[in-house]
Structure 1
Amino acid sequence: MGVADLILILSLVGVQLGWALVKTPSLGRSNTLDPVQMCREIKFVDASRRTATRESVLRDLCEAGIPHVELDDKLKQFAVFNLHRDGFEDVAKWHSGDAQNVIDDPYWVVNDVEQLADTKYHWYSHGLPMWPLPHQAMANSTGKTLLPKKKKEGDWPNYGMATPVYFAAKAWRNQAWSAEEFFQQQKKKSVFKSHKDFHKLAKEIVEQVNGQQVESYSDWPFLRYSLLPMVKSMMQRNKGLCPDEIYIYTRVTPCHPTESRQLTCVQAALEARNLLTQAGCRTTDVIVGYTQEYNNNAL
């Protein structure tokens, strides 16, 4: 065997070793779902809003969200939402602003959990199963200059995703206790812009969770706490122009069987509508779609 052959063999071994050391995407439960199959049939909460363009965008949201959630026979629901600038565009546009670009990160899961140090309970790795998070660390100053740094508002993304705060089994034991331990152990390494404020928010949300109706979208905090800064950031990037639409995709229809369908199915749209009005975007359309009717075997 010549020197050249030996070098070639060693280089191949090195490449294979390198691939072995590279982290591969977690084989989470969500990877057992086929995006093409699951997202094939898009349904509209308001059938009169259906168009081919809107159906295409909602399908994009469905397919983009699947790799970033973990689902099983109990954890069924998730949402993806997107501010859409051009109503004639039939594909979703993804802008991350100053926040982490999670949509292109194959390792990032919105409802990822971790084991806590003391109790060995589990809690959500990001504090809550929603993104973008209120009080997250975002850039708030310009680059280095001779003059004092000029403060600016954080540039929020135009998209987000969430799952409900699920009541899990034995490993969690106590939701409030788990959340409290998570934020206590995060104090010295917190990534949140205001750790104290986000801790308070998470505590309030956990206290409000209805364990029997967690999959209903009657009042999800990802809209209430994140949508307004997202809209304002998008308007700044577009010289004051409002988005043509906000798309909200949910895997399962946002209604619980024990609630009035006419009320809860439109609640997310009403919440978004109110927030858009506060931002001065009264003409922005709210489009809500899903792929499966609510039932106990939705997966």
Structure 2
Amino acid sequence: MSEEAEIALARETVKRIPLLAGHDGPVERLGGLTNLVFRVGDHCLRIPGKGTEEYIDRINEMIATEAAAHAGVGPDVLYADASSGIFVSRFVRGGVTMTPALFRSIEGAPARAGQAFRKLHASGAVFPARFELFSMIDSYLGLIATKSVALPNGYGDVLKAAEAVRAALSAHPLPNVACHCDPLCENFIDTGHRMWIVDWEYSGMNDPMWDLGDLSVEGEFDSKQEEEMILAYFGGEPSAAERGRIIIYKAMCDLLWTLWGLIQLANDNPADDFRSYADNRFARCRSLMGTSQFAEALEAVATSKSTDT
């Protein structure tokens, strides 16, 4: 769909939403890999993308989005329709949509992201969905089996090697808390004083260390940025097991999102080169899993006591 057609769709959608129906000003296309997102005055309009209904629970998303706003982490929700997936939130004025480059250049951004995660995880919010890594991998593999798309060479071998991760995490679980679970840089809006988090499609009750590990990957954090985020989150030094979980999830998020990329490829999503996206994520996962750092992280989790995490 051309940008002109996207804007036309947005204007037609605006007419059907009482809150926005009187808007006669500009409609600006914003980012989004799978959805169509627009600025409409002081509001942000989201129209779900093609094929997202195959793997997104819209009721969970709406509940999570409202809970995140209540927790002070996400913008206020002003209109939501779970049946269509269309919703409207408050536009964050003075905010910058983050990228890996901006996380490097804006002072304190990794720390503010860590603090936002801490606020979310400590909020007591309860999301309907549970984000369970290996169940999602199985679900995505089942969906891919119905489509004409090939897994990267060696995916099955790496998935088999990840059984040691499954065993360690199962033996030493952390309490599940409300998590974002899909911390792309573009899902963070920084005002310089506060970090807001948007797009709660994949949110669920999860191990909180997932959010930290995944953002480190998505943001292409170096060791200094990662440490800034971690120390801001914990308010001090984490345990070896907590650090270990973050490292493990840096690999596991790539293992999972490789499959997500293949689903986008099969659904003809034009937003990116999803073949390269999937192959690159898988290569990064495989590389990290082959390091001594990963082995030490796995050992730290596997030998941890309940008081360590």
Q: TM-score, normalised by structure 1?
A: 0.25
Larger Rg: 1
Of Structure 1 and Structure 2, the greater helix share is in: 2
Q: TM-score, normalised by structure 2?
A: 0.25
